Amino acid sequence: MTCGTINGYRYHHRHGETPCEACKEAMRPYWAKVDHRRRARRVDLEAPCGTPSAYRRHLRRGEPIDAPCRAAATAERAEYRRRKRLKRLRGSWRMVIIDYLETHGAMAEVHLFDMIADRHDDARRDTVHRVLMKLVTDGEVESIREYTPTRYALVDD
């Protein structure tokens, strides 16, 4: 066995010995090369700047955060809050539509949406339509097709 070589380092390990300083010194260039390849591979897998994961990477490494990464993270948080709010309101849109139909009687979907949008800034036409169709499917609201446009009214119990 020759100390101060890569094979000497491996010999120490195979025999359960602590490698000597000369063998550790011989391994340092090899470790540096392996480490460099591992880091290069990791960099290739990293998300590019301008994405939420790049923003989190900057935070994790303590790097300064660039404008595209900050904008991407802000947009992701805004979308998260929007989805969370919609999830919370999903049941309440149902109650809003029922309340309007109960108060104002049968009306077309367009007029229903206009009335709701006057009081609810976050109302969206597709959301009102989806909830109204769900109410029709559930049998809580009936569609009166003899009028154009179709009117919707609460089902009398």
- Alpha-helical (H) ranges within the chain are 6-14, 21-45, 52-61, 67-104, 109-119, 125-138
How far is residue 154 CA from its own chain's centroid? 37
Of 25, 45, 65, the domain-final residue: 45
* Tens-place pLDDT, residues 53-85: 999 989 998 999 999 999 999 999 999 988 777
Quote the domain boundaries for residue 132: 46-154
**pLDDT tens readout for residues 5-62:** 889 989 888 989 899 999 888 888 888 888 777 776 666 567 888 999 999 989 998 9
Q: Which residues contact 2 (CB under 8 A, 6 or more apart)?
A: 8
pTM of whole model > 0.75?
no
Separation in Å, CA 135 to CA 62, 107, 118, 143: 51, 14, 21, 10
Output the CA torsion sign for 119, 75, 87, 155: positive
Residues 6 or more apart from 157 whose CB is under 8 A from it?
none
Please state, in angstroms and rounded to a whole number, the distance separating the CA atoms of residues 9 and 17.
Answer: 9
Q: Is residue 79 located within the same domain as residue 6? A: no
Q: Distance (Å, rounded) from C-alpha 33 to C-alpha 102?
A: 75
Is the same domain home to 16 and 53? no
State how many domains the chain has: 2
Q: Measured between alpha carbons, how far is 55 from 72 in angstroms, rounded to an integer? A: 8
CATH number of the structural domain spanning residue 114: 1.10.10.10
Report the chain's terminal Cα–Cα distance, integer Å. 95
